[in-house]
Amino acid sequence: MEGVPAERSQRLSRAAAQRLSLYLRCVDDWTTDGEKVSSSRIAEAVGVSDAQVRRDLAALGHLGQRGVGYDARELASAIRTALGINRQWRAVLVGVGNLGRALLRYQGFRAQGFRIVGLFDSDPSKVGQEVEGLTVEAVSTLPTRLNELQAELGVLTVPGETAHSVAEALVAAGVRGILNFAPVVLKLPRRVRLVTVDLAIQLEQLAFQVQHGEAATRATDEE
């Protein structure tokens, strides 16, 4: 899109990309208001400093007018473009256990343009089962099925023991990125992107905030 030159958005750090995701949640909620959105309103909702929000949004190009604020719809669109989610992403999910089923029902994925288009499991007793309108397939069919399903991303919700071999199967099948929920450190070729979700880290962050009370709230997360 014209508003965000490629070389500009490529300079986004991962920390900045994470903040943009948080801003997007708020701004999306406010698009129905039809009102102008100020950086301070975003800052308060997300819990970072006003200066940080202004710096992050300035990196998206010329948006908003001094003293008037940002148009919520225009801002949401610019953030989506910068994050690369102004398009649909098709993903397969491997590991149809409790977590896999929970993620299949997770409304947030579809709202943000992610579609889980295939389910896979290495357990033969699960293959053929129907879950949320999809039929579970064997991991061994990934090399042909990934391409047929036009899926680029893989969501890994298998136990730690099988995570490495399933990740290898996804890589061999040509996946471009893996969202890993297994509590293991995966080593992937550089061409394949990896985001590991460590749920214990979230609890640690909560414990940290409870322990340190108000002090943690006041600290800003500036780069």
Instruction: Report in angstroms the alpha-carbon separations of 116 from 67, 88, 155, 186.
Output: 42, 11, 9, 22
Distance CA 84, CA 44 (A): 25
Q: By C-beta, is 68 or 200 nearer to a second copy?
A: 200
Query: Do the annotations mark residue 96 as ligand-binding?
Result: yes
SS3 142: helix
Tell me whether residue 97 is annotated as binding: yes
* Residue 95 marked as a ligand binder: yes
In terms of CB distance, is 24 or 167 closer to a second copy? 24
Give the nearer residue to a second copy in terms of CB position, either 168 or 221: 221
Nearer to a second copy, 172 or 216 (CB): 216
Distance CA 68, CA 53 (A): 15
CB of 114 to a second copy, least distance (A): 5
154 marked ligand binding residue:
no
User: According to the annotation, is 86 in a ligand binding site?
Assistant: no
**Two tokens, residue 71:** 């148009």
Least distance (Å) between residue 125 CB and a second copy: 18
- The answer to the question of whether 99 is labelled as a binding residue is yes
Instruction: For the CB of residue 60, give the shortest distance to a second copy in the complex, in Å.
Output: 13
CB of 197 to a second copy, least distance (A): 5
Nearer to a second copy, 15 or 172 (CB): 15
Q: List the one residue out of 176, 142, 173, 179 whose CA is nearest residue 157.
A: 179
By C-beta, is 14 or 66 nearer to a second copy? 14
Distance in Å from the first CA to the final CA of the chain: 27
Q: How far is the CB of 161 from a second copy (least distance, A)?
A: 11
Contact in structure between 43 and 52 (CB atoms under 8 Å):
yes
| E-assigned strand segments in 57-140 | 70-71, 89-94, 114-121, 130-131, 134-138
Question: Closest approach of Cβ 97 to a second copy, in Å?
Answer: 7
Q: Which of 186, 192, 95 is nearest to 138 (CA)?
A: 95
CA–CA gap between residue 17 and residue 30 (Å, rounded):
20
Annotated binding site for NAD(+): 95-100
Annotated binding site: 95-100
